[in-house]
């Protein structure tokens, strides 16, 4: 087991969860990821709008009935008043509830982990950022792919200027699971993702395009300055986009091209990013996450493999198994939680921590990105200002 730097044997953080009841995909993923680290235990929850299902889930998880709450509002209120109240809450409800739930816990000064997208509008995102700052709350948004060791290695390579000046960022995220209108057949995940009432202004860009934006920013640190987007809906009668092409310009003059699709038959979870600089390039694929391709000018292609001593200390710190034993989605998720919990442990003892994980700021950047893409597409692909200008201390 990998322990956090500030982890004390026998002491654990306490957490609660909103959402994640029967039928949830992501709730159990969060719980499993947290359990992998042994740093926190679940003690409270409001797992469903159906209180009977909340009670059922609480019983299965060994949570006492008095901490199985009828609503997230009740949970935020009562947990904030307890001497043994939760140290953080994991928010795993559908998109339309993220803002309301996060705000309720922020106002009570409770640390937060929230699924993406952070919320529906840039105005809501700005408010959440300001509340987190005002109430000194740690706020992680689970952009999972930033937890992979080889993504950390890619970031280290770029930030050390190994590739030289970045010229091009080419990234794609094709899936094929929405090639047919399965939302009309009652498929739960499809139903809410394709409904603007529950998903917001975008399906495809909001659901997976934001992962491209976050991954590119995490690895390179570059901010987008302008973009031109074409959002398309190929399945007849669908209300939101299921395919998108996006051209971008970055602050250093680099160009970018993103493609996200959920109607690309034959693709499952094909997130891939390629970064080209003046001295070299790198490539990483989510479906082969343990490897990173590195090409330097005038040299043969190198394939770097997770778990080896030639990697940076950051990549090695995020590695859990010896080389040759594949690590994937759950481990990456657990890595983010480990960093988040390390930060909370450090805060408890008054120490500073340089732990790196996606924050409410990254979530806000993603929300603005989605709205900029929709704005551009609605104007026929017109180039729009996409600068992240939320200001303040961020």
The mean pLDDT value for 70-98 works out to 97
Task: Assess whether the region 13-144 and the region 145-323+363-378 belong to the same CATH fold.
Answer: no
pLDDT for the residue numbered 23? 85
Alpha-carbon distance of 231 to 374, in angstroms, equals: 7
pLDDT for the residue numbered 6? 46
384 versus 393: the higher-pLDDT residue is 384
pLDDT for the residue numbered 10? 58
Half-sphere exposure of 139 (CA within 13 A, CB side): 28
Alpha-carbon distance of 34 to 16, in angstroms, equals: 11
What's the pLDDT band for 300 if we cut at 50, 70, 90? very high
pLDDT tens-digit map of 369-390: 999 999 999 999 999 999 997 6
The mean pLDDT value for 102-117 works out to 97
The mean pLDDT value for 8-14 works out to 77
What's the pLDDT band for 11 if we cut at 50, 70, 90? confident
261 neighbors 244 (Cβ within 8 angstroms): yes
Using the predicted structure, report yes or no on whether residue 82 has a pLDDT greater than 80. Answer: yes
Cβ neighbours of residue 52 closer than 8 Å, sequence gap 6 or more:
none
181 neighbors 238 (Cβ within 8 angstroms): yes
What's the pLDDT band for 174 if we cut at 50, 70, 90? very high
Helical (H) or strand (E) element with 4: none
Alpha-carbon distance of 107 to 73, in angstroms, equals: 11
What's the pLDDT band for 81 if we cut at 50, 70, 90? very high
The mean pLDDT value for 187-192 works out to 91
Report phi then psi at 227, rounded to 5: -150, 160
pLDDT for the residue numbered 2? 35
The secondary structure of the chain in percent helix, strand, coil, rounded to multiples of 5, reads 40, 20, 40
Alpha-carbon distance of 355 to 79, in angstroms, equals: 26
Tokens 């993220």 belong to residue: 98
pLDDT for the residue numbered 389? 76
pLDDT for the residue numbered 3? 37
pLDDT for the residue numbered 386? 97
3-state secondary structure of 212: helix
Where are the domains positioned within the chain? 13-144, 145-323+363-378
Using the predicted structure, report yes or no on whether residue 139 has a pLDDT greater than 90. Answer: yes
A 10 A CB-CB count for 62 gives: 9
Alpha-carbon distance of 30 to 133, in angstroms, equals: 25
pLDDT tens-digit map of 310-345: 999 999 999 999 999 999 999 999 999 999 999 999
Mean pLDDT over the full length of the chain: 95
Alpha-carbon distance of 86 to 67, in angstroms, equals: 10
Alpha-carbon distance of 229 to 212, in angstroms, equals: 14
pLDDT for the residue numbered 92? 97
pLDDT tens-digit map of 207-237: 999 999 999 999 999 999 999 999 999 999 9
Report DSSP state, residue 182.
G
What's the CATH code, domain 145-323+363-378?
3.30.360.10
Using the predicted structure, report yes or no on whether residue 8 has a pLDDT greater than 70. Answer: no
Which option is the CATH number for 13-144: 2.70.98.40, 3.30.70.270, 3.40.50.300, 3.40.50.720? 3.40.50.720
* Helix (H), strand (E) counts: the chain: 13, 14
């Amino acid at each position: 087991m990998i322990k956090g730097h500030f982890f004390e044997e026998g002491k654990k953080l306490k957490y609660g969860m909103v959402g994640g009841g029967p039928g949830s995909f992501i709730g159990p993923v969060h719980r499993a990821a947290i359990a992998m680290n042994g740093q926190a235990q679940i003690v409270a929850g409001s797992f469903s709008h159906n209180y009977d299902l909340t009670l059922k889930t609480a019983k299965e998880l060994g949570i006492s009935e008095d901490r199985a709450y009828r609503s997230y509002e009740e949970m935020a209120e009562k947990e904030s008043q307890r001497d043994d109240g939760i140290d953080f809450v994991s928010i795993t409800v559908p998109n339309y509830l993220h803002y309301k739930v996060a705000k309720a816990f922020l106002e009570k000064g409770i640390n937060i982990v929230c699924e993406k997208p952070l919320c529906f509008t840039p105005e809501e995102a700005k408010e959440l950022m300001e509340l987190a700052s005002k109430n000194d709350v740690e706020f992680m948004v689970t952009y999972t792919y930033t937890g992979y060791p080889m993504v950390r290695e890619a970031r280290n390579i770029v930030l050390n200027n190994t590739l030289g000046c970045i010229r091009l960022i080419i990234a794609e995220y094709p899936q094929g699971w929405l090639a047919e209108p399965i939302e009309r057949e009652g498929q739960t995940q499809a139903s809410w993702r394709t409904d603007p009432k529950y998903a917001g202004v975008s399906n495809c860009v909001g659901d997976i395009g934001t992962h491209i934006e976050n991954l590119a920013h995490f690895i390179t640190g570059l901010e987008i300055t302008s973009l031109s987007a074409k959002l398309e809906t190929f399945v007849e009668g669908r209300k939101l986009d299921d395919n998108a092409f996006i051209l971008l310009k970055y602050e250093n003059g680099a160009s970018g091209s993103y493609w996200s699709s959920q109607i690309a038959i034959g693709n499952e979870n094909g997130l891939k990013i390629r970064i080209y600089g003046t001295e070299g390039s790198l490539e990483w694929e989510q479906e082969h996450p343990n490897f990173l391709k590195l090409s330097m000018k005038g040299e043969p292609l190198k394939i770097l493999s997770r778990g080896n001593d030639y990697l940076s200390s950051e990549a090695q710190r995020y590695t859990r198994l010896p080389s040759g034993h594949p690590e994937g989605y759950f481990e990456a998720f657990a890595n983010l939680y480990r960093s988040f919990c390390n930060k909370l442990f450090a805060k408890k003892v008054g120490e500073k921590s340089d732990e790196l994980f996606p924050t409410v700021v990254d979530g806000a950047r993603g929300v603005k990105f989605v709205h900029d893409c929709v704005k551009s597409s609605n104007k026929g692909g017109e180039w729009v200002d996409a600068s992240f200008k939320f200001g303040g201390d961020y």
